[in-house]
Chain A
């Protein structure tokens, strides 16, 4: 069954405290090549049957209204992934 993948990231201008903690932990494990980390969210919406334009539009609306908060986050990707 196809899935619609929605990726949400904290807005660039907002400090991401979790990403900051992760970038602090990386060098302690020897991963020294990374100067910053930002942590986002990935949602997978499973669709029973074909992904129509209407269903994709619904997913985009859900991404903007529930899955992300536009004050602090951006929806950076909405795409269909076949199973």
Chain B
């Protein structure tokens, strides 16, 4: 399926046909909001999105999984706490921990679900200022060797939207020190810490680098004219999030630079 650019004259980033065989599952829970955007991001990056339903008992033949943002189960109990026990999540946890090391990306509520699943350490609590916040956020790519960051430069600064209420990343000092020492802090907030996260951490990975979670939303910055700095529609950081998806697609087809 070809995506038409949403702005008339703007040219969509050309997706590479050889990536189309890579299938990325996008999970929908009751209350998920950003599954359509995540699927669109996969398509724009050249891959094939596969809708997955939380109550399914099998992952099918997907090569990677995105757990998108939203408010699964209304954030009842704790953000991500109930979604974590969905039938499909146990399949995802097994596949992520297996020898095959299924690449898994958790965005926002997806990140919260990954911490509740213990695929990633720490937890998120309410923003230190207690308000929902929505803004274009600058991040630094601290580790470009995870499955989801291979197409970024180390130290590259990118701008993607951020929108959350429970976005304050916390973990004990020992865990934070270990994350830093092992290079598992993948993204850090630059210029402004929007939620009080410890050590400006915006995203982390597991030890193997196949599981990545972050609070900001790369899937909302994949299209010219509709990402941050999109006033002129061209030349901003509209598509800074696209490399998440090309990274994993290239990895799947064995073509990372």
Contacts and interface: CB of A to CB of B under 8 A. Distances in A.
Nearest to A67: B77
B95 to A, nearest CB: 21
A72 B123 contact: yes
B77 A17 contact: no
9 contacts: A13-B172, A17-B125, A17-B127, A17-B129, A17-B130, A17-B168, A66-B77, A69-B81, A69-B116
Contacts of B126: 17-18
A71 B115 CA distance: 9
A71 B122 contact: yes
A8 B219 CA distance: 35
Interface string A26-40: 000000000000000
A14 B129 CA distance: 15
A62 B172 CA distance: 24
A72 B126 CA distance: 11
A18 B171 contact: no
Interface residues of B, number: 21
Interface string A52-70: 0000000000000011010
A76 interface: no
B171 A71 contact: yes
A81 interface: no
B132 interface: no
Contacts of B77: 66-67
Nearest to B115: A71
Q: Which among A15, A18, A67, A69 has the highest number of chain B CB atoms within 10 Å?
A: A69
B130 A66 contact: no
A33 to B, nearest CB: 23
Interface of A: 10, 13-15, 17-18, 21, 66-67, 69, 71-72
Contacts of A14: 125, 170
Interface in B166-206: 168, 170-172, 196
Given A17-B125, A17-B168, 15 more contacts: A10-B125, A14-B125, A14-B170, A15-B128, A17-B130, A17-B196, A18-B130, A66-B82, A66-B85, A69-B78, A69-B81, A69-B123, A71-B115, A71-B170, A72-B125
A66 B81 contact: yes
A69 B170 CA distance: 12
Nearest to B78: A69
B216 to A, nearest CB: 20
Nearest to B118: A71
Interface in B212-252: none
Closest 10 CB pairs of A and B: A71-B123, A17-B126, A72-B123, A17-B130, A21-B130, A69-B123, A69-B78, A17-B128, A72-B125, A71-B122
A18 B78 CA distance: 14
Contacts of A67: 77
Interface string B61-85: 0000000000000000110011001
A15 B85 CA distance: 27
B85 to A, nearest CB: 7
A38 B38 CA distance: 37
